[in-house]
Amino acid sequence: MKAIVTGINGTVAPVLARTLLDAGHTVIPWNRSRVPPDSRKAVSNFICSEHPDWFFHLATGSPDWAESVAQVCARQKVKFLFTSSVSVFASAQRGPFTVDSLPQPDDAYGNYKLECEKRVCATHPDALVVRLGWQIGKTPGANHMVDYLDRTFRIESHIAASTNWYQACSFLEDTAGSLKYIMETLTAGVYHVDGNPGLNFYEIAMGLNRLLGEPWIITPSGSPVQNNLC
């Protein structure tokens, strides 16, 4: 299959691209300097000229861009997947969430992701909307949990990790495999991707410390009290 992937300079998209390539698919990365997302004409011309089978919209771009790519893909009968986030649920909402739980975001990022979801679904009736938890990479330097832990340790010389925080999360490679599977196999709807079997943040941080051989000093703490497992 031929897939356009947005957000290729980010954290998840390069891992997805590798997964798709390894499976024999063709990946066309969206280059924003060549195809400006705010030009509806450029967006339409690019998608029509590439004529992909699949479109993975992973970039954290504007809701207008999400809507315009969804619109062109609907018109061109291109299977369309948009990555959202469990942040559409407020921190005060208690998981585990199902796809029938009502999102009530309480911050700018959650509101932004929910607006994108709504505009994508209103525009592309067969859209796949996939809510991801916090991503876990193996090395710092991108937008994921290990980078957060490493930065926190460097700044504070220890990491206070809550035993009352149950965070939806997954390793990047597992997320990429799930996105590929959902695109290949599933039909229109909202999906949750969460690899956490029920561990709290302290247990996860300790596990990553062991797995990656890091020198982090991790202490258990009581806050935040939060559950956004899916």
Ligand X SMILES: NC(=O)c1ccc[n+]([C@@H]2O[C@H](COP(=O)([O-])OP(=O)(O)OC[C@H]3O[C@@H](n4cnc5c(N)ncnc54)[C@H](OP(=O)(O)O)[C@@H]3O)[C@@H](O)[C@H]2O)c1
- List residues near ligand X by CB under 6 A: 7-13, 32, 37, 58-61, 83, 85, 113, 132, 134-135, 142-144
Output the smallest distance, CB 137 to ligand X, in A.
9
Torsion 190-43-16-226 (CA) sign: negative
Contact 135, 175 (CB under 8 A): yes
Name the residue nearer to ligand X (CB basis): 4 or 8: 8
Distance between CA atoms of 146 and 75, rounded to whole angstroms?
40
Distance between CA atoms of 230 and 223, rounded to whole angstroms?
20
Token pair 């956004």 in the structure block, residue: 228
Helix (H, G, I), strand (E, B) or coil at 202: helix
Output the smallest distance, CB 17 to ligand X, in A.
10
Name the residue nearer to ligand X (CB basis): 159 or 169: 169
Name the residue nearer to ligand X (CB basis): 31 or 219: 31
Output the smallest distance, CB 58 to ligand X, in A.
4
Output the smallest distance, CB 150 to ligand X, in A.
14
Output the smallest distance, CB 112 to ligand X, in A.
9
Name the residue nearer to ligand X (CB basis): 10 or 24: 10
**Nearest residue to ligand X, using CB?**
10
Name the residue nearer to ligand X (CB basis): 144 or 180: 144
Distance between CA atoms of 158 and 169, rounded to whole angstroms?
22
Distance between CA atoms of 4 and 31, rounded to whole angstroms?
10
